[in-house]
Amino acid sequence: MNMSHPSVHPVEAPPVTDGGAVNVPVPRVRMKDIQGMPGTPGGLFLRLCQFLFAVVALSIMTSTSDFVSVTAFCYLVAAVALQSLWSLLLAIVDVYAILVQRCLRNARIISFFTIGDGITSTLTFAAACASAGITVLIGTDLDECGQNHCARFETATAMAFLSWVSVSPSFLLNFWSLASH
Amino acid sequence: MNMSHPSVHPVEAPPVTDGGAVNVPVPRVRMKDIQGMPGTPGGLFLRLCQFLFAVVALSIMTSTSDFVSVTAFCYLVAAVALQSLWSLLLAIVDVYAILVQRCLRNARIISFFTIGDGITSTLTFAAACASAGITVLIGTDLDECGQNHCARFETATAMAFLSWVSVSPSFLLNFWSLASH
């Protein structure tokens, strides 16, 4: 079974009509053309955004010395590390697909991407929310920013949220593509 | 335009074949039969679970006197209140659909349900994660359960997570149904 098929010289299939309205060809939107899906430049852009935001969140959080004393911050580090690895892997796949003009529209591949995106985005979002809760607790409720790295915690949390925001379209587009197969 | 159509006496459409393999009728899985979608007993069960878990989380969290001093706990109360209202509303719609045997398979209705489920589930999950982060901070990192209602905070957080777990299938099924239309 072919896992993917080359599309170097794509042949446009004639529109299927049932005898009527032949003179008015309706332009059909092809799933392939939606930017943001695997193997498209938009998809590669989303992956790079996810990767960059996750790496920035990881770097800022690990640059604070006392993040290990809070469980939620350790969890954030683990989640964005996983997110950055996953996004980097998929970015490489996208670069390959774009370079060799291969179409990644196989149900198994898209299922794998959808499940991976679902898991990593849920973990990243959960970590960002937990960190946000604690950042607000330290900064607003307890007002103890003097002895904590509030600015760095907030920046790392915001970057994790941005990473989640850029994973969500990938997940939703893949899920949509899977359902409309 | 009809927003829904009655299905008291559903007529099974003959399977569409293109001339071949007429003797081997393949049973087609109808989207309508998937339990958990709007208008099915499974969907009603999911809505009641969401509602009950959200109401229990709301009750337990508001029964603690000091939840107002932590922003994340206030946010949890607001999120599960919204979740319980939304789920109750959709449970009433499901009961109506089941009683009058109406089919809720309209693209606009399902879009509305999908967006509502997406928003409420994201808010509930975010609130549950933020509360979990603070509960772990109080209970494990700072070890201050003696002067806090740790057990109640943990129970309310767990109920909010369970509410999110029961909203997710509704969201995914609606989104799937929307995409496969």
At A22-54, the pLDDT tens digits run: 444 444 444 556 888 888 899 999 999 999 999
Q: Identify the pLDDT of residue B4.
A: 52
Give me the count of residues in chain B: 181
Residue A135 falls inside a structural domain: yes
Q: Which residue of B has its CA nearest to A139?
A: B71
Rounded to a whole number, what is the distance in Å from the CA of B138 to chain A's nearest CA? 10
Residue B78 falls inside a structural domain: yes
In whole angstroms, give the CA distance from residue A153 to residue A66: 10
From chain A, the residues in CB contact with B131 under 8 A are 133
In whole angstroms, give the CA distance from residue A168 to residue B178: 17
- Under DSSP, the state recorded for B62 is H
In whole angstroms, give the CA distance from residue A121 to residue A47: 12
Residue A24 falls inside a structural domain: no
Comparing CA positions, the residue from B173, B8, B1, B13 lying closest to residue B98 is: B8
From chain A, the residues in CB contact with B137 under 8 A are 70-72, 134, 137
Find residues 34-53 of chain B whose CB sits inside 8 Å of chain A: none
Mutation pick from A34, A129, A172, A177 vs chain B, by most beta carbons of B within 10 Å, is A129
In whole angstroms, give the CA distance from residue B131 to residue B120: 16
Please indicate if any CB of chain B lies within 8 Å of the CB of A72. Answer: yes
Q: Identify the pLDDT of residue A20.
A: 43
Q: Identify the pLDDT of residue A113.
A: 94
Residue B18 falls inside a structural domain: no
Q: Identify the pLDDT of residue B20.
A: 43
Residue B135 falls inside a structural domain: yes
Q: Identify the pLDDT of residue A7.
A: 47
Residue B36 falls inside a structural domain: no
Residue A18 falls inside a structural domain: no
B133 contacts A133? CB cut-off 8 A = yes
From the list B137, B176, B177, the residue facing A134 with the nearest CB is B137
Q: Identify the pLDDT of residue B101.
A: 83
The C-alpha angle B26, B28, B29, rounded to 5 degrees, equals 145
Residue-range definition of the domain harbouring residue B82? 41-180
ipTM: 0.79
Total number of domains in chain A:
1
Return the biggest CA–CA distance within chain B: 76
Q: Identify the pLDDT of residue A179.
A: 87
Residue B142 falls inside a structural domain: yes
Q: How many interchain CB pairs under 8 A, A with B?
A: 71
pLDDT in tens, chain A (181 residues): 445 555 445 444 544 444 444 444 444 444 556 888 888 899 999 999 999 999 999 999 999 988 898 999 999 999 999 999 999 999 999 999 999 988 777 889 999 999 999 999 999 999 999 999 999 998 888 888 877 888 999 999 999 999 999 999 999 999 998 888 7
Rounded to a whole number, what is the distance in Å from the CA of B84 to chain A's nearest CA? 21
Calculated CA dihedral for residues B147, B148, B151, B156, nearest 10 degrees: 170
The alpha carbon dihedral of A34, A40, A41, A44 has a sign of: positive
From chain B, the residues in CB contact with A68 under 8 A are none
Rounded to a whole number, what is the distance in Å from the CA of A25 to chain B's nearest CA? 22
Burial class of residue B81 (count of CB atoms within 10 Å of its CB; 0-12, 13-18, 19+)? middle
Which residue ranges in chain B fall short of pLDDT 50? Answer: 1-2, 7-8, 10-12, 14-30
